[in-house]
Amino acid sequence: MSQALDEIKIGGLGASRKRVEDNRFIRGKGNYTDDITLPGMLHMEILRSPLAHARIVSIDATKAWDIPGVHLVLTGEMMATRNLAWMPTLSYDTQAVLATDKVRFQGQEVACVIADDPYIAKDACEAIEVEYEPLPVIVNPEQAVAEGAPVIRDDKENQQDNVIFDWEVGDAAGTDRAFEQADVISRLKLHYPRSHPSPIECCGSIADFNRATSKLTVYMTTQAPHIIRAAVALVAELPEHMIRIISPDIGGGFGNKVPVYPGYVCSILASILLERPVKWIEDKSGNLISTGFARDIYLDGEMALRRDGKILAVRMHCDSDHGAFFSDAQPSKFKIGLLHSAFAAYDIPVAHLSDRGTYTNKAPGGVAYRCSFRVTEAMFFQERMMQAAADDLGMDQAEFRRMNFVRDDDFPHRTPFGFLTDSGQYGKCLEVGLKAIDYEDFRRQQTEARKRGRLLGLGISTMTEPLGAGNSREYDILGIKMFDSAELKVHMTGKAIVRTGARGQGQGHETTWAQIVSHELGIPADDIVVEEGDTDTAPFGMGTYASRSTPVAGAAIAMVSRKIRAKARKLAAHLLEVSEEDVEWELGRFYIRSAPDRGVTIQECAMAAYSNMPDGMEPGLENTAYYDPPNLTWPFAVYIATVEVDQETGVWDVLKIVAVDDCGVRINPMIVEGQIMGGLTEAYAMASMQFITFDAEGNCVGSNYMDYLLPTAWETPGFELHSEVVTPCPHHPIGAKGIGECAAVGGPAAFVNAVIDALSGTGVRNIDMPLLPDRVWEAITHRRDVSGAPPVRSDE
Ligand code: CDP
């Protein structure tokens, strides 16, 4: 008779265990960077540039120094004397910490004041007199490469123009040949607008340098504390073991908290100079105007098609706008992140992608906002192109996708850009989605409604996302290989602590990591505490972004648990007085194969590890695992939205949205559903209302929550989620794939496709996001595409 524990009851794999971190979050007891107060702490504020491109003629901080309570005014000139005016970025570029020669975007950091409180510091910033000499401004890639364009990065010796890189991947000649064979060539051009992750908590840091111990402790809002430690060691030339980075609770990251920002560097230098803790907390406008912009990419593509609907080839050209500094994190080899993961779910023989990255007078962009290095743009283009191609062929949207999908028995599948996908049931996910939306019936309703002058539309979007970078062979950031880690300590009484190199920002790691240990060892999840984010205690890891935590750190947790189980087996054999070979495992307990009633629990083994180990065995029950995944994990999803568009006003309402996500084995189904709903909410916001752009002078339009709208429960439509398709990841120890970003990645195209579908017959192929009512109205009224690319008109 099995005496194995009931896995769901102990909070193991598959349990919708309530989020343990919410005990403190919903009581207002979270411990965020701004909650921390250290003795003698000072406050830092940043003076930002009002202009997007201007030479700095002079900076006079005399009046600021004279304000009582001011301890330090930092300018670029002072930073330069310490070789800190510029810092390296995560993409092998340099970025100004405080401007010296020029300002290159509106909101750029020009000076910092450190004072007794933030109000004095803010007043003192306003007392700094800066004389600027305005320069011509560039706000899009077309202007950046135009004849006679001013060189934004004239600080770089060999930079004669505004091009950062020209990068290509795929088979150009093969693609050309395939296009020659095509019956139909479908074309689409669009702009994925700049957007901002906009976490509730802005960025911030408290640097605390202790001269007596030579130790620098920094509390900060980073998603990747170990990478920051390495960066601080290199930039500030401090010994790495004397730097401790602590990420306390983080109020949302979404990629915004991956880069290294000037505010962090200035607070560190100020603390070293003043030998007092220095706190910098960014305000909302500072966050929206200067940190962590994403997307901003022009996509121009063609698809070669056979008349029967078979896709023969895809050609994509992109112009990506990176702002004034190329500072987003990318796997080093791939200049444009994983944009070439496009079309991975479709069986396309050959493809070619080229991308030109340019500097513009905008804050650094290209951050992986809730996506795996530019995958959102890739999937958006893919699904918009699929819709345009099906329309050009006069084919049914669902049928066109179905016939081009990689089939279940085609795995492993090499994509046209070289990725290896390993599992999925794409056709099945689509069937579930079509059934849930009642596809045939909706198409009938749509035709009927048209006859009565009502515009209904249906948009399908699918996505497959490469999640879990590394493996270390192919992925690194600044040469640091991408893998992750977990450390597990089982105490004498069978309670445990697990630490990882990841750092959650609200995703529920404290809940789900314990569930993985429970699954592997049978220790109840409530007996396991999870700790992340302190470089002095956590094993080295690359942090949390690109939904890499479950694929990599989660795998490391399973692997370290297995190491613990292997040692516990030896202890069990010793306690049961049999040889190890005679010992069997069932959840929570070892037993003698020939006498299943005689067994010992994992807790008894833990006690023995400290009190009754066999001769020669090292005491204790703890271990560490570093996990280098053999491949990325490849979740798949289908999102289908139906909408009604009011042709008088251009307002569109979502009628229904269904989501079918296959992320392999779900550790915590409730948390997975939360991730999907959050992602769909962001997708809807992106498609419908979030608008942050630039006028011709480089002024950021939308850098506050009156203009840059975040959807509340009131605006957000209800979602219908489906979880019946589960394709375990073949190489992940518990079969899980990432999920955190999928719906934000795949969702936007479902909404846009639905609106464009509603306008079918008008000749409108594209309206750039956000699909604001005036843009939709313009498209309907003038029967033309509507571009949203900057510069925007001043009345927009
Ligand atoms: O890296 P990040 O945590 O943002 O993304 P993720 O690895 O996709 O995980 C997001 C949340 O969903 C975490 O709490 C995961 O443990 C959970 N999850 C899950 O329960 N089952 C999966 N198959 C994937 C993620």
pLDDT digits (tens, 9 = 90+) for 270-318: 999 999 999 999 999 999 999 989 999 999 999 999 999 999 999 999 9
Is the predicted pLDDT of residue 794 greater than 90, yes or no? no
135 burial via Cβ count (<10 Å: 0-12, 13-18, 19+) = middle
- Average pLDDT for 590-603: 97
Is the predicted pLDDT of residue 72 greater than 70, yes or no? yes
Confidence (pLDDT) at 593: 97
371 counts as catalytic: yes
The identity of residue 423, as a single letter, is S
Is the predicted pLDDT of residue 640 greater than 90, yes or no? yes
For residue 79, give the 3-state DSSP assignment: helix
Q: What percent of the chain has pLDDT over 90?
A: 92
| Residues whose CB is less than 8 angstroms from the CB of residue 227 and which lie 6 or more positions away in sequence, other chains included | 90, 477, 480, 542, 543
Separation between Cα atoms, residue 745 and residue 722, nearest integer Å: 17
Q: What is the pLDDT of residues 463-505, one digit of tens each?
A: 999 999 889 999 998 888 999 999 999 999 999 999 999 999 9
Count of CB atoms situated within 10 Å of the CB of 4: 13
Confidence of residue 796 (pLDDT cuts 50, 70, 90): low
Is the predicted pLDDT of residue 235 greater than 80, yes or no? no
What's the N-to-C CA distance of the chain in angstroms? Answer: 72
**61 near 128, Cβ under 8 Å?**
yes
Is the predicted pLDDT of residue 656 greater than 90, yes or no? yes
Q: Is the CB of 671 under 6 A from ligand 1?
A: yes
Greatest alpha-carbon pair distance for the chain in Å reads 87
Strand segments, DSSP code E, in 646-696 are 652-662, 693-694
Is the predicted pLDDT of residue 508 greater than 70, yes or no? yes
- Average pLDDT for 49-72: 98
Q: What is the pLDDT of residues 750-777, one digit of tens each?
A: 999 999 999 999 999 999 999 999 999 9
Half-sphere exposure of 75 (CA within 13 A, CB side): 16
Q: Which atom of ligand 1 lies nearest, measured to the CA of 548?
A: 1
Is the predicted pLDDT of residue 389 greater than 80, yes or no? yes
Half-sphere exposure of 309 (CA within 13 A, CB side): 17
- Centre of ligand 1 to C-alpha 33, Å, is 24
Angle, CA 598 vertex, CA 595 and CA 602 arms, to 5°: 130
Place of tokens 């089982």: 490
Q: What is the pLDDT of residues 183-205, one digit of tens each?
A: 999 999 999 999 999 999 999 99
Confidence of residue 330 (pLDDT cuts 50, 70, 90): confident
203 counts as catalytic: no
Token pair of 350, please? 């050959």
State CA 777 to chain mean position distance. 33
Separation between Cα atoms, residue 95 and residue 89, nearest integer Å: 6
Is the predicted pLDDT of residue 236 greater than 80, yes or no? no
Q: Is the CB of 541 under 6 A from ligand 1?
A: no
Place of tokens 């009754």: 612
For residue 538, CA distances in Å to 336, 469, 503, 521, 543 come to: 31, 19, 10, 21, 11
Count of CB atoms situated within 10 Å of the CB of 782: 11
Confidence (pLDDT) at 795: 60
Separation between Cα atoms, residue 375 and residue 467, nearest integer Å: 10
- Average pLDDT for 358-386: 95
Q: Which one of 276, 741, 742, 765 is the catalytic residue?
A: 741
Q: Is the CB of 740 under 6 A from ligand 1?
A: yes
791: preceding bond cis by omega (within 30 degrees)? yes
For residue 413, give the 3-state DSSP assignment: strand
DSSP letter for 717, please: P
Q: Is the CB of 739 under 6 A from ligand 1?
A: yes
Stated as kind and residue range, the H or E segment containing 456 is: strand 455-464
**575 near 612, Cβ under 8 Å?**
yes
Confidence (pLDDT) at 478: 85
Angle, CA 353 vertex, CA 350 and CA 357 arms, to 5°: 170
Q: Is the CB of 223 under 6 A from ligand 1?
A: no
Alpha carbon nearest to ligand 1 atom 5, residue: 547
- Average pLDDT for 441-453: 96
- Average pLDDT for 531-538: 97
Is the predicted pLDDT of residue 574 greater than 80, yes or no? yes
Strand segments, DSSP code E, in 510-568 are 528-532
741 counts as catalytic: yes
Separation between Cα atoms, residue 699 and residue 324, nearest integer Å: 14
- Average pLDDT for 355-379: 95
Place of tokens 């880690």: 485
Q: Which one of 95, 223, 505, 515 is the catalytic residue?
A: 223
Q: Which atom of ligand 1 lies nearest, measured to the CA of 668?
A: 20
Q: What is the pLDDT of residues 332-344, one digit of tens each?
A: 889 899 999 999 9
Angle, CA 375 vertex, CA 481 and CA 203 arms, to 5°: 70
Picking from 703, 608, 640, 605, the residue whose alpha carbon sits closest to that of residue 383 is 640
Q: Is the CB of 576 under 6 A from ligand 1?
A: no
The average confidence (pLDDT) of the chain is 96
Q: Which atom of ligand 1 lies nearest, measured to the CA of 550?
A: 7
**643 near 459, Cβ under 8 Å?**
yes
| Residues whose CB is less than 8 angstroms from the CB of residue 759 and which lie 6 or more positions away in sequence, other chains included | 455, 457, 645, 779, 780
Token pair of 239, please? 């010994």
Confidence (pLDDT) at 1: 66
Picking from 127, 110, 111, the residue whose alpha carbon sits closest to that of residue 65 is 127
Stated as kind and residue range, the H or E segment containing 86 is: strand 86-88
| Residues whose CB is less than 8 angstroms from the CB of residue 758 and which lie 6 or more positions away in sequence, other chains included | 455, 456, 457, 643, 644, 645, 652
Confidence (pLDDT) at 36: 98
Picking from 299, 297, 294, 378, the residue whose alpha carbon sits closest to that of residue 338 is 378
295 counts as catalytic: no
Separation between Cα atoms, residue 639 and residue 370, nearest integer Å: 17
Separation between Cα atoms, residue 521 and residue 622, nearest integer Å: 13
- Average pLDDT for 143-147: 97
DSSP class per residue in 260-309: --HHHHHHHHHHHHHTS-EEEE--HHHHHHHS--EEEEEEEEEEEE-TTS
Q: What is the pLDDT of residues 16-45, one digit of tens each?
A: 999 999 999 999 999 999 999 999 999 999
Is the predicted pLDDT of residue 707 greater than 90, yes or no? no
Separation between Cα atoms, residue 405 and residue 621, nearest integer Å: 48
